[in-house]
Amino acid sequence: MFVGVHGLCENRKCLLISKLDINGNIIWNKGFISTDSGNYSFIKLQNDTLFASGHTDWNTMTKQVNLYAVNPESGDSLYSANANFDSIALGFGFANMGLLLFENKLIPYGEIRDTNNIVSGLIHWMDMKGVNLQTKTYQLPGNFTVNALQDLQPDGYGNLVFVTVFIDSLFDEHTVVRKINSEGEIIKDVFIPSNFNLDPRPQLAVNNAGQYVFSHAKWAPGTVQQLVCSDTLGNILWEHDYPLKINGQQPSNLSNNYHINQITPTSDGGVVIAARIRTNRIQNRFYDDAYIGKFDQFGTLEWERRINIQNGADTLYDWCALYDIKERPDGKGYVAVGSHKTSENLSSTNILLVSLDADGCIEGMVCDGDQIIVSTLDVIDLTEEIKPSLFPNPVQESLRISGLDGDVPFSIYNHVGALVQKGSTSGDVDVSGLPQGMYVLTLTGVTSGDKTVFRFVKI
């Protein structure tokens, strides 16, 4: 499996990608510069290439999405590309909300803001080599704001759909599923009243029957987080409410206790959700449980699990959340990824990996109810021996090597093995003087191995 998280490389914000086996052991670890640790980055695997996207740090005021193509076996960079939106994003920045692979195109998407902080949805098309094709922006009828273009995905009929929120002139709010064709032209909007605030943002999945399964907050009365299934015309087929109650108690100072972060269709026609539960306030602070719920095709909740960590003297007051969940490749359960903070150290975040069987149980742990208490925490250090990465590739003038700690010796060899350049670098290597062709660059003494080897193309 592949996990993308944010961290620091060379004291700069970066995207860290780790390849893990099914038991959570690290196979390789790489860092990629120029992503903002305050928002989202995304990874997708297709055939023999792993793609990652993230937006440029907002502090630079550059509105840009960055794309990286990575060898999934080694983690080596294959090439990098970017798309700049400075001419259309006149406000604060571009927020990358996702990456879709569709009809042999790479499609990063997100939102931009104008000088009045008004949000527009943005979808950008690239070919599979990162060449920019087109960009489209979206508003809703009456030029009302697209609040977060979320979960762009195929609808199963050659078109695309995404979910957003529409606020009308009476300030009533609606969840909106917008259908567009493969070129980005609008086909249809489906409006579903939600009449509550934008937090948590709605999530969307298209199930095996082509129906929309989405989440939103609603006043029912009393605030609830709803999971809703509708047909493509907006007719509600089933609903499931998560009321504002924990263990029979209703905290008066919480507005949303269930926060659904991901909805994933399952092979049996149902869906599984990854979420967090904001639980009762203890000693004047909140704590969160991670949550997974499995629904059948008719909206019946088959099982649910809430997960927290207890190790040593630690209580169950930790912060746990899950952000993504997938069916296991062998079809025997689910794998979810999220985060965990201990109640003693909320400034440090661990990656939480959860592997469940088809009944929602963790092997070797008690599974006789909806609560799973993890008695030990195996900490995977994703910053351990971050191996360097090289970009852009192909290159015209200058290579950038991330993950270096001070100057290190390098050598460059041509396709027949002749040494053509050598020196030392702390990150940048000028190759503008090299003829076009294939080259090998070696670094000495960077990792536990003797040499680190990259192949690159000079154009």
The pLDDT, as a whole number, for residue 449 is: 52
The pLDDT, as a whole number, for residue 204 is: 94
* 410: pLDDT strictly greater than 60: yes
What is the band of 457 on the pLDDT scale with cuts at 50, 70, 90? confident
The pLDDT, as a whole number, for residue 369 is: 63
> 27-36, 347-356, 427-436, 445-454: which has the highest mean pLDDT?
427-436
**What CATH class does 391-458 carry?**
mainly beta
The pLDDT, as a whole number, for residue 247 is: 42
**Could you tell me which residue, 159 or 45, shows the higher pLDDT?**
159
Peptide bond into 202 cis (omega under 30): no
The pLDDT, as a whole number, for residue 182 is: 93
Q: How far apart are CA 367 and CA 363, in angstroms?
A: 9
| Average pLDDT rounded to a whole number, residues 174-193 | 90
Burial class (CB in 10 A: 0-12, 13-18, 19+), 433: exposed
Give the range among 90-94, 122-126, 158-162, 419-423 with minimum mean pLDDT: 90-94
What is the band of 406 on the pLDDT scale with cuts at 50, 70, 90? confident
> 21-25, 145-149, 175-179, 412-416: which has the highest mean pLDDT?
175-179
What is the band of 38 on the pLDDT scale with cuts at 50, 70, 90? very low
| Average pLDDT rounded to a whole number, residues 203-209 | 94
331 neighbors 266 (Cβ within 8 angstroms): no
The pLDDT, as a whole number, for residue 40 is: 55
Mean pLDDT for all residues in the chain: 79
| Average pLDDT rounded to a whole number, residues 163-178 | 79
The pLDDT, as a whole number, for residue 155 is: 94
What is the band of 224 on the pLDDT scale with cuts at 50, 70, 90? confident
The pLDDT, as a whole number, for residue 251 is: 44
The pLDDT, as a whole number, for residue 7 is: 65
* 186: pLDDT strictly greater than 60: yes
189 neighbors 177 (Cβ within 8 angstroms): yes
> 7-11, 215-219, 384-388, 407-411: which has the highest mean pLDDT?
407-411
The pLDDT, as a whole number, for residue 11 is: 61
The pLDDT, as a whole number, for residue 255 is: 41
| Average pLDDT rounded to a whole number, residues 316-323 | 78
278-317: per-residue pLDDT in tens? 765 555 566 788 889 999 999 999 998 888 776 544 455 6
What is the band of 145 on the pLDDT scale with cuts at 50, 70, 90? low
Give the range among 20-34, 97-111, 374-388, 400-414 with minimum mean pLDDT: 374-388
In the chain, where are the structural domains located? 244-387, 391-458
Q: What is the pTM of this model?
A: 0.76
